[in-house]
Structure 1
Amino acid sequence: MVNLNRYIAQAGYILAICHQASGAPAALRTVWEVVTVTSCPNNACATTAPCTSTSSPVTKTLTTTECSTSEPPTTTFESTSSSSTSTPASSVYTAPPSSNPYRDRNFNTIHHIYNLTIFPNQVPIITFGASAVPDGLFADHASGRISPVGNFTDFEDSIEYFFALPPLPISNKNSAAFTRFELVQFSSECPEVAASTVYLYAEVVNASSPDNGKLVSILKQTGFWRFNERGEVVNYDLALIEVDHFIEELTSTDYNDPAAQRELIVTTCNAQAIRCNGKNAQYDSIDHCIESLSAKPFGSYTDVWSDSVVCRSIHIVLTLTRPDAHCPHVGPSGGMKCVDYDYKTRQFDDERLWGRTDLFRCIA
């Protein structure tokens, strides 16, 4: 049976961009720009080969009222029609030596995962959730650790980290997003385990800007993966290297500045007021949220897994995909995610997370 949601996500989507109008009074006036981006069916656009889609795109409109004076200028993305041939955002594919079929298989899986972090490849997953994730990438019970962000204990958690957290052009002052990556290191000496290092390049994505395509920053991620017999990722233990410097360059913001910290608190509280309401409400008002977060440690992007403002600023992004799961993490208690864990629990409790300590070793 055809998975309709997955087909819709692969056939096409509409990205609606909300931004502050030029010359708008205060923060009240907003403008909508709708841009259609079409990809090929059957996930063909996850490869680097050009593909042609003859299917009529099925679209979904994302709507939001989350505009503020801190929104960046309008970003316009090049549209493609469903009948044209186009090359999607991707990176140069260099296949590893093919003497071991499982090595190629594991390389291809990791390459495919990172390709879906590249803008706009991740937008269908943000829009449609788990149904837009291609089969064969993550096992249903996938779990792992991403330092310094935290543990991810199931399929939904895992795909949200990989595909919902990468920056979008409308989410930062530089209009930057990941536009390419390099899988610079890779090794897989047994079918179950691989190690990799990837560089993710954040560049300006704004066709109307003279800086369009300019490199803003680079994020490095390195670590280990474990696969099942079908080649799906079952477990991962990965680390983001010097992510605080990446965030500062991405946002052109010094988060040691009290004014910048205050701005992030206000932005987080305004967003939660829109996304976390009804049964998901966490605060009585925006002022209550600001008061609560102002009393907490601001935190650091090198220590996200903590009872801090920084942790809540990460989880407010994830409320776009699953508000019922992530709104409690933005709330006063931290919802068992934005809470303080000691160093040994965060980094060394492999038994609790995976049930064993030798998960990423090739054992005959």
Structure 2
Amino acid sequence: MVNLSRCIAQVGCILAICHQASAAPAPRRTVWEVVTVTSCPNNACATTAPCTSTLSPVTKTLTTTECSTSEPVTTTFESTSSSLTSTSTSSRYTAPPSGNPYRDRNFNTIHHIYNLTIFPNQVPIIAFGASAVPDGLFADHASGRISPVGNFTDFEDSIEYFFALPPLPISNKNSAAFTRFELAQFSSECPEIASSTVYLYAEVVNATSPDNGKLVSILKQTGFWRFNERGEVVNYDLALIEVDHFIEELTSTDYNDPAAQQELIHTTCNAQALRCNGKNAQYDSIEHCIESLSAKPFGSYTNVWSDSVVCRSIHIVLTITRPDAHCPHVGPSGGMKCVDYDYKTRQFDDEHLWGRTDLFRCIA
């Protein structure tokens, strides 16, 4: 595989990748020719085998770029086949107690959402956005909080967090991606509310490596969900646990090292030059970007929602799906996302986010 050590832009939950959808001609190397997606119609996931859906042949490709100060090397994901079954699904599917329809429904919805964060199941969503998200998972106006990343206030924001940010094998030094998950804890004592704890296992995905399949790290996410009468997620309040330690293990990088910080700045600035141009341009040049970000706090993965380099390295990833929305977040002002919010606003402003403070209680 191409040397991946340069492309270390990290992302909240967590994808470190520089994207290029259309750029000047550059050497290309197809590393994933067929994309398949596990899909469970009507949330009816089987306990013994993954449900599957088909993707019609398409012509659109997802192209990613290893970013450095030298000539970029691009990688193209092509979705070109149909009627194929993904082998990526949770390795431990623990069914909820039988005889409770809403509990089964809520469990299956959450299970289906996390299954679409597993590589390569998320690739069609990265490439095609909302049109590739199965019906019945998120309501049109879904909104929520993901600590320490930020608030997500609509359907597009929500699907970008869940499906565009999980790591791809080309995105980090270890060629790691989420290959399986475990819905370790689950409770739903009323139709509209559920709580869960999920373990996401990042393993090496590189058929040419002797480490292929080796466990790199595990990310833990816990929190609450709220559903509408159709079983779609309307709201969520979730937290990533010790995400900074997960990032260190995923990338084998110490971001307390000034050299690693500078490398991330250069990677982010090269990526924004490719993705944020024309009306979305944020800096006069790559050098202007580097100068601007070098003057800002580097930040931390325990507090992503800040005027920092770390925050911008996350939002540059999301420019592949919606550059109009996310390029301003990478810019000098932070675009109202990569700005400093105080602790109370980040964690307790439920009234502003949802209009109430008791959203995740079961009403007797």
CA distance in 2 between counterparts of 1:14 and 1:297 reads 20
Query: Conserved in 1, the CA contact under 8 Å of 2:227 and 2:234?
Result: yes
Query: Conserved in 1, the CA contact under 8 Å of 2:11 and 2:314?
Result: no
CA distance in 2 between counterparts of 1:340 and 1:114 reads 30
Aligned-pair identity in percent equals 93
Query: Conserved in 1, the CA contact under 8 Å of 2:28 and 2:74?
Result: no
TM-superposed deviation, 1:100: 1.6
Q: How does 1:1-364 map to 2 (within 5 A)?
A: 49=49, 57-64=57-64, 66-68=66-68, 82=82, 87-364=87-364
Query: Conserved in 2, the CA contact under 8 Å of 1:15 and 1:35?
Result: no
Query: Conserved in 2, the CA contact under 8 Å of 1:26 and 1:69?
Result: no
TM-superposed deviation, 1:363: 1.2
Q: TM-score when scaled to structure 1?
A: 0.84
CA distance in 1 between counterparts of 2:152 and 2:141 reads 10
**Partner SS for 1:361:** coil
70-79 vs 93-102, which deviates more? 70-79
What per-residue deviation string (whole Å, max 9, x for no partner) do you get for residues 220-271 of structure 1? 0000000011110000000000000000100100000000000000000000
Query: Conserved in 1, the CA contact under 8 Å of 2:282 and 2:327?
Result: yes
Question: Relative to structure 1, is the Cα distance of residues 19 and 6 closer, same or farther in structure 2, using a 3 angstrom cutoff?
Answer: closer
Question: Relative to structure 1, is the Cα distance of residues 8 and 234 closer, same or farther in structure 2, using a 3 angstrom cutoff?
Answer: farther
CA distance in 1 between counterparts of 2:56 and 2:361 reads 47
What per-residue deviation string (whole Å, max 9, x for no partner) do you get for residues 270-324 of structure 1? 0000000000000000000000000000000000000000000010010111000
TM-superposed deviation, 1:134: 0.6
**Partner SS for 2:6:** helix
Question: Relative to structure 1, is the Cα distance of residues 261 and 8 closer, same or farther in structure 2, using a 3 angstrom cutoff?
Answer: closer
TM-superposed deviation, 1:93: 2.2
60-69 vs 270-279, which deviates more? 60-69
TM-superposed deviation, 1:88: 4.0
116-125 vs 62-71, which deviates more? 62-71
73-82 vs 83-92, which deviates more? 73-82
CA distance in 2 between counterparts of 1:243 and 1:90 reads 21
TM-superposed deviation, 1:15: 16
Query: Conserved in 1, the CA contact under 8 Å of 2:12 and 2:314?
Result: no
Query: Conserved in 2, the CA contact under 8 Å of 1:46 and 1:115?
Result: no
Query: Conserved in 2, the CA contact under 8 Å of 1:282 and 1:332?
Result: yes
**Partner SS for 1:189:** strand
TM-superposed deviation, 1:338: 0.2
CA distance in 1 between counterparts of 2:274 and 2:267 reads 11
CA distance in 2 between counterparts of 1:356 and 1:29 reads 50
TM-superposed deviation, 1:53: 7.2
Query: Conserved in 1, the CA contact under 8 Å of 2:31 and 2:77?
Result: no
CA distance in 2 between counterparts of 1:257 and 1:41 reads 47
**Partner SS for 2:181:** strand
CA distance in 1 between counterparts of 2:290 and 2:4 reads 41
Report the RMSD for the aligned CA atoms in angstroms.
7.7
Query: Conserved in 2, the CA contact under 8 Å of 1:297 and 1:308?
Result: yes
TM-superposed deviation, 1:24: 18
Question: Relative to structure 1, is the Cα distance of residues 54 and 23 closer, same or farther in structure 2, using a 3 angstrom cutoff?
Answer: closer
Query: Conserved in 2, the CA contact under 8 Å of 1:38 and 1:57?
Result: no
Question: Relative to structure 1, is the Cα distance of residues 210 and 21 closer, same or farther in structure 2, using a 3 angstrom cutoff?
Answer: farther
Question: Relative to structure 1, is the Cα distance of residues 353 and 20 closer, same or farther in structure 2, using a 3 angstrom cutoff?
Answer: closer
**Partner SS for 2:222:** strand
Question: Relative to structure 1, is the Cα distance of residues 75 and 210 closer, same or farther in structure 2, using a 3 angstrom cutoff?
Answer: farther
For CA contacts below 8 A with separation 6 or more, give which structure has more relative contact order: 2
What per-residue deviation string (whole Å, max 9, x for no partner) do you get for residues 189-244 of structure 1? 00010000000000000001100000000000000000011110000000000000
CA distance in 1 between counterparts of 2:226 and 2:264 reads 36
**Partner SS for 1:313:** helix
Query: Conserved in 2, the CA contact under 8 Å of 1:75 and 1:169?
Result: no
Query: Conserved in 1, the CA contact under 8 Å of 2:54 and 2:82?
Result: yes
Tell me, which stretches of 5 or more residues in structure 2 are unaligned?
A: none
TM-superposed deviation, 1:51: 6.3
Tell me, which stretches of 5 or more residues in structure 1 are unaligned?
A: none
TM-superposed deviation, 1:8: 31
Q: TM-score when scaled to structure 2?
A: 0.84
TM-superposed deviation, 1:48: 6.2
